Amino acid sequence: MTEKKEKSHLSLPVFAVAPMIDWTDTHCRRFHRLLSGHALLYTEMVVADAIIHGKRNKLLDFHESEHPLALQLGGSDPVKLVEAVRIASDWGYDEINLNVGCPSDRVQAGTFGACLMREPQTVEACVTAMKKVSPVPVTVKCRIGVDEQEPEAVLPDFIDRMVGAGVDGIWIHARKAWLQGLSPKENREIPPLDYPLVHRMKARHPKVFMGINGGITTLEEARAHLAVMDGVMLGRAAYHNATLLTGVDHAIYGDPAEAVDWSTICQAMMEHAARHIADGGRLVHLTRHMVGLFQGFAGARRFRQILSADATRPGAGPEIITAAFAEVDVAAGPVRAA
């Protein structure tokens, strides 16, 4: 458990790495934090029932270096969400986020995620209840609509309800979700993006924190959105091309431009790996999140091969990370656009 930082992480602007199931675990977040000191990080979605009845330390523990860090919850029962927030408050997260955007079948089966776009009154009740007990900001991550809904009609009402419930921020994925007929992957690619609609929602609520998500792949695109929005969120683009995160502190937060200290990053991940292995874990639990590093660098293919093959072998140790980094010509930088 960790102590809360006093400074609000929602001070503008905000660059966030999206919550991604099976990806943004604590190992991923510790790696991403080495690449950006300011980016807002999110946990994987954690179901309220799991926190109430499951192994809380396993679900909620994180390293203090991961701040600022938001916990994303899944659920639709205000009573259960309140209990989950009460429990999680002891861990010292910087934000509690309610998932109203995930379209996967297993989320729909639990009557939460994107299907809640059809039940704005339920989400309103959840946010109202969570706000009463949360010591930190409560935010919502949503879609612009689902299935046959007309986003122009449903999104303004949804956001008005969230604002009325006292929400501290809204992250909007600028695509509809089709709950039948499209896979989660297809829902990230096929429904058309509607950035102008999201921008208009921000204009309607200038005093409410609003961030945009969906289809953004470069820091240049992120900066363009931040001319209108308060925050910008990248998911798979940041995960699969993790080197992008090394530019966030300068491009988004205005820190001085500095050369990336790759040796320090390598050493930090080796030390983390050694501790994790000593506690009974496996090297691949960490290295699977590092494969997207060094896109466009000479030696990147060999780097990926080592982390994808050697790190999965029984008994693999931290030295595999050193071997992988040694294959990359970091001094030359990227030889092509990532």
**What separation in angstroms does the CA of 309 have from each of 27, 223, 312, 318, 321?**
19, 37, 6, 14, 12
Q: What does the alpha-carbon distance between residue 86 and residue 50 come to, in Å, rounded to a whole number? A: 14
**pLDDT attached to residue 185:** 72
Structure tokens at 46: 């954690």
Position 269, amino acid: M
- Are 251 and 35 in contact by the 8 Å Cβ rule? The answer is no
Q: How far apart are CA 138 and CA 75, in angstroms?
A: 14
Contacts of 281 (CB under 8 A, 6+ apart): none
Supply the pLDDT for residue 9: 86
Shortest CA distance to 136 belongs to which of 88, 198, 173, 81?
88
Question: Quick one: DSSP state of residue 116?
Answer: G
Residue type, 290: M
Annotation marks residue 28 as catalytic? no
Q: What is the pLDDT at residue 183?
A: 73
Strand 69-74 versus strand 209-213 pairing type: unpaired
Q: What share of the chain is helix, strand, coil (3-state, %, to 5)?
A: 45, 15, 40
Q: Which of the residues 102, 115, 126, 266 is marked catalytic?
A: 102
* Cβ partners under 8 Å of residue 17, min gap 6: 24, 32, 39, 40, 41, 42, 233, 234, 235, 238, 239, 245
Question: What pLDDT, on a 0 to 100 scale, did the predictor assign at position 337?
Answer: 47
Amino acid (one-letter) located at 165:
A
Is residue 86 a contact partner of residue 27, using CB atoms and an 8 Å limit? no
Contact 127, 82 (CB under 8 A): no
- Collapsing DSSP to helix, strand or coil, 30 comes out as helix
Cis peptide before 206 (omega within 30 of 0): no
Q: Return the residue matching tokens 């501790």.
A: 275
* Residue-by-residue pLDDT tens, the chain, 338 positions: 444 445 578 888 999 999 999 999 999 999 999 999 999 999 999 999 999 999 999 999 999 999 999 999 999 999 999 999 999 999 999 999 999 988 876 665 557 788 999 999 999 999 999 999 999 999 999 999 998 999 999 999 999 999 999 999 999 999 998 887 777 777 677 788 999 999 999 999 999 999 999 999 999 999 999 999 999 999 999 999 999 999 999 999 999 999 999 999 999 999 999 999 999 999 999 999 999 999 999 999 999 999 999 999 999 999 999 999 999 999 998 875 44
**Tokens in use for 286?**
């960490």
**Residues 201/210, Cβ–Cβ less than 8 Å:** yes
Contact residues for 238 (Cβ-Cβ < 8 A; gap 6+) = 17, 18, 32, 244, 245
Residues 6 or more apart whose Cβ sits within 8 Å of residue 103: 113, 114, 143, 146, 177, 178, 179, 182, 184, 187
For residue 336, the model assigns a pLDDT of 57
pLDDT at residue 109 in the model? 55
* 325 and 297 Cβ atoms separated by less than 8 Å: no
Matching residue, tokens 């921000």: 202
What is the spatial distance between Cα 216 and Cα 237, in angstroms, rounded to a whole number? 7
End-to-end CA distance of the chain: 37
Closest by alpha carbon to 97, among 39, 38, 46? Answer: 46
